[in-house]
Structure formats: C-alpha cells, structure tokens
Amino acid sequence: MQSQDHLLEQLKEHRIISILRGIPKDRAQNVADALQRGGIVFAEVTMNTVGALDIISQWRESHGLNMLIGAGTVLDVDMAKEAVAAGAQYLVSPNVDEAVIQYARDRGIGVFPGAMTPTEIVAAWKAGATAVKLFPMASLGIGYLKEIRAPLDQIPLVVTGGVRIDNIQEFLAAGSTGVGLGGSIANGELIREGRYDQIELNAATMVQAVKSYNASRP
C-alpha cells in the first residue's frame, strides 16, 4: 500500500494533481490514457461525477502501475469508505472533516483536506493531513499564498483554482508543494470533442514547466 510519507514525496516531485469533474464515463479511459502519455502521475476523480467509483476502479486497474488515482470532493466518512473500496489511493476534500482525515490515516491513505484560513490549515495539519489543499485559490490569489506561507512554511500546501501554464511556476516559487489543475489540462469542451491529443499536450506542457522549475532549485 502507498504510505502517506511516500505519497507526499511523490507529490513533492511531480507536483501536479489533474482534477477530473463531471467526466463522462465512456470517455474516462481515453482521458486517463492521454494524461499518462502527457506525464501526469496524480489523477483525481471527484465524487460528484456520475460513475466516479467505477472510473476510479477502472483507472486503478488500467493505470495503477504508472499513476496514483485519488477521489475528490470527499465530504464525509461514508464517501471516503466508498472511494477507498473502489481503489482510491488518496482523498481530497473541499473542507476539513477530522473523521475523514482519521479514517484515511488509519488505512495509510493520503488525505488532502481543503482549508482557507490559518486556523483551518493548522487544524487540518494537526489532525493528520498528508498535505492541506488551499482553496479557493482563484479567489484568494497568489498574494494570499505568500502571506500564509510565511508563518506556516512547515505545512505542505496544494493550491487549487486559478493555476495555469503562465503562472504555475510562480505558485511553486511562492511555496506551494503541489497544484490541483482542472480545466488547464482537461476541460469539458476538450473531453466532449474527444480532443485527447490536446489534453496530452496540455499535460505535457504543465509537466515540463514543473520539471524546469524543479531543475532550477538549488
């Protein structure tokens, strides 16, 4: 089983979590193939996606050797249990639910609860989060991330919302351990139109930006 410590080390290396929300089940496999070809390691299917559990199970079977498959929008322990049973290797939430965090910890499953304020971030970390998802980043802005990192630099943060190819390195330089990317890689239009080559290209471009940033670090 993927340990939480190893999962965090993988996140520090690869940095990108590709978020799939509302993906049609009949296109999910093609999207996963495109993400893997583009170099994506972390892929998250949100639980409010129709057929999410089946997609998670399918992706674990087909891409489990090369990718880490997670469940997003996990709001309570019941959802966490369903996701883990389907094969999710980490859980992502928009909120801090200590029962979900404890459930994941007890099973060696990674867990990234969503938080906004310093109080929420510290509470999530103390409860045992693998990393804390800073959300909603598109509204908070990179200035907020910089202010938060000053006193909370020991807590790994995954920023979600508002990250694009033109600013991903800026977010990493500001102190984010990882970034959650939705439409910047695979938006609904690309998926509906079956433009999997473009999804692969978007993924590869983001992955290269991360590699260039990591290589520039001392």
The catalytic residues are: 44, 133
CA distance 215 to 218: 8
Q: Is the backbone peptide bond immediately before 136 cis, with ω within 30 degrees of 0? A: yes
Q: Which of 39, 18, 44, 12 lies closest to 178, judged by CA?
A: 12
Residues 6+ apart with CB under 8 A from 122: 152, 155
Q: Which of 39, 79, 35 lies closest to 59, judged by CA?
A: 35
CA distance 184 to 216: 23
Q: Which of 104, 91, 16, 109 lies closest to 47, judged by CA?
A: 91
